[in-house]
Amino acid sequence: MFVENAPLQQRNTFGIAAKCQFLLEVHSESELVAALNTATVKNLPLLVLGGGSNIVFSHDYAGLVLCPMLKGISCLADQGQVVVIEAAAGENWHMFVQYCLGKGWYGLENLSLIPGTVGASPIQNIGAYGVEIKDCFHSLRAICRQTGQAREFSLTDCQFGYRDSIFKRELKDAYIITHVRFTLSTIPVLKMQYGDIAQEITQRGISQPSPIDIACAVVAIRQRKLPDPAVIGNAGSFFKNPVISQSQFDDLKIQFPQIIAYPQGERVKLAAGWLIEQTGWKGKSFGQAGVYEKQALVLVNRGGASGQEIMLLAQTIQQDVLSKFGVALEIEANII
């Protein structure tokens, strides 16, 4: 059922008080195709909105906001040590990770507590603590917005990169993901190369951690570092960690010996939060928008901030980082 002049404040984790011309929840692929046909006939712009955890509404949306609510988790193949699990796009990501752990299907534990839906997870190849979606990805099913036809995408088809996929480039706004499949293991393979996880496990006095222990450690770390959207509006990491050439990094290292960086093949990934903190923005505010006190990579809504305020803050931070370091910060959130 179409809802006119629908409020979106409860549908985006920033808590921005935007509205849309029409809103529709769909619970199946057939409903999704019907909605696409309606949008075409009425010549309505279309925005697909999942958990709203990576979006900034800079204004009201003059068109149809489509919310995929498809549910369901199933095991498509069980080869003993390896299983293929399919989850519908409307499933909550963290709940899906928890479900897999409860079934003894491992590989996603480092991605615990990431907000959003399963359907949104491949679009930006979500990642945390040494693991990305692409590491466990099998395939996905999506509906073409133009034709309404279903298409299967393999790992290669998705062209995953750092916080990137073909759905953010050549096929941006071309498909709506309905189901995602993952290849998981029934044998625990722990990934603890990030110091925060190892430190958390040690502090808990655990000598032989399990995947569930890793998940609990990740949840605890994220809860300490990142604000709960239910308490203070935010979209998680607002900027991507920039990747620069080795020669540019060498020059920066001379000028800023304490700079935080990680090898990225022949290039170097910088910690965007550290760059922002060095410009003095950590904990500061710009109107009702601000930079989180515990993590400079996170912009927050301190209460009643508009999308324009958040974008002005983001642009000012970008300018300051570029002026100080010569590094361009790219916004990770989607701006509407």
Quick one: 182 exposed, middle or buried, by C-beta within 10 A (0-12, 13-18, 19+)?
buried
14-50, pLDDT tens digit by residue? 999 999 999 999 999 999 999 999 999 889 999 999 8
pLDDT(191) > 90? no
Interatomic CA distance for residues 296 and 277, integer angstroms: 6
Interatomic CA distance for residues 236 and 229, integer angstroms: 9
Catalytic center residues: 163, 237, 332
41-54, pLDDT tens digit by residue? 889 999 999 888 88
- What is the enclosing helix (H) or strand (E) of 252? helix 246-255
* Reported pTM: 0.84
Identify the pLDDT of residue 194: 73
The more confident residue out of 259 and 207 is 259
Partners of 243 in the β-ladder = 269
pLDDT(95) > 90? yes
Assign 262 a pLDDT band (cuts: 50, 70, 90): confident
Q: For residue 91, which of 133, 119, 59, 58 has the smallest C-alpha distance? A: 119
Interatomic CA distance for residues 183 and 141, integer angstroms: 15
CA distances in angstroms from 320 to 272, 288, 314, listed in the order given: 12, 20, 10
Highest mean pLDDT: which of 175-184, 233-242, 254-263? Answer: 175-184
Identify the pLDDT of residue 264: 84
The more confident residue out of 277 and 264 is 277
110-137, pLDDT tens digit by residue? 999 998 899 999 998 999 888 999 999 9
3-state secondary structure of 213: helix
**Amino acid identity at 63:** G
What domains can you pick out in the chain, each with its CATH number? 3-68 (3.30.43.10), 73-185 (3.30.465.10), 233-335 (3.90.78.10)
pLDDT(273) > 90? yes
**Amino acid identity at 87:** A
Contact (CB, 8 A) for 317 and 281: yes
Lowest mean pLDDT segment, chosen from 172-181, 217-226, 267-276 = 217-226
Assign 254 a pLDDT band (cuts: 50, 70, 90): very high
Assign 203 a pLDDT band (cuts: 50, 70, 90): confident
Identify the pLDDT of residue 1: 73
Please count the other Cβ atoms lying within 10 Å of the Cβ belonging to residue 294: 12
